[in-house]
Structure 1
């Protein structure tokens, strides 16, 4: 019986003295921006391929579209992030993209919806900016 009592007391002592230790995880941000801004830029940049596809589709019938039309992740806005199936599931991200040509001469505004699997869901052209003529040229650039 004494052995049982000793084992019981040792067991209770171990349970009582057992402290819960939570590991502290730290995020290492090796970028020139705050973490929130860094995550935003990383998310937008990871969606480059479907946004490129949307820009091609939006402007494919535009006879005035300038050569080299592109867009910049730092000039793109996240309008909405819609959670579809719960935490960690699929998300739909709505972006406002500002295509430009040459030295960041704006050409338009577009809304693009992409899911986190990189699938282009929807796109909508919002606005086209008029192109400006360059010095010494009769044509529009």
Structure 2
């Protein structure tokens, strides 16, 4: 009986001193964590977005040759979960290609998968091109 009492006392004391472990995410960026994750996701999809922009503007004779886009000017419109938690995702983005000193040339909707495949794209509008000669 004495061993049982000591054993129960030991178990109760160990359980009562159980302290929860808290972990904190370290964010070493100049933005809030949510914004940092957003930019990281968008930048990881750079290749299919570049491909979509080149496809959209390849037949546009007025398009500047060096169209670029910026992750900070790109909106995530929707993230669609396809097969349950941890499954595949489709990410719908609104991208505004620009030229020179960030002069916006157009607006496009681009749909990519989280693993970096271009799914679909749609051109929304083209802005007037400004020449500074």
Question: Mean alpha-carbon deviation: is it higher for 62-71 or for 81-90?
Answer: 81-90
Task: Show the counterpart of 1:16.
Answer: 12
1:1-141 correspondence to structure 2 within 5 Å: 5-17=1-13, 18-19=15-16, 20-135=18-133
With structure 1 as the length reference, what TM-score do the two structures score? 0.85
Show structure 2 runs of 5+ residues with no match.
none
In the alignment, the residues of structure 2 paired with residue 88 and residue 8 of structure 1 have an alpha-carbon distance, to the nearest angstrom, of 46
- Alpha carbon RMSD of aligned pairs, Å? 1.4
Deviation at 1:81, TM superposition (A): 1.0
Q: Can you list the C-alpha shifts for 1:23-77, whole angstroms capped at 9, x where unaligned?
A: 2111101111111111111111111111001101111111111111111101100
C-alpha distance in 2, partners of 1:104/1:84?
A: 35
Q: 1:84 to 1:10 in 2, by over 3 A?
A: farther
Q: Secondary structure at the match of 1:8?
A: helix
**Residue-pair matches, total:** 131
Q: Following TM superposition, by how much is the alpha carbon of 1:114 offset from its aligned partner in structure 2, in angstroms? A: 1.0
For residues 56 and 3 of structure 2, what CA distance do their matches in structure 1 show?
A: 76
Which contiguous aligned blocks of 4+ residues in structure 1 show a shift greater than 6 angstroms? Answer: none
Separation in 2, partners of 1:63, 1:10: 87
Give the number of the structure with larger relative contact order, counting CA–CA contacts within 8 Å between residues 6 or more apart: 2
CA deviations 1:94-141 (Å, max 9, x no partner) are: 100000111111110000111111111111111111112324xxxxxx
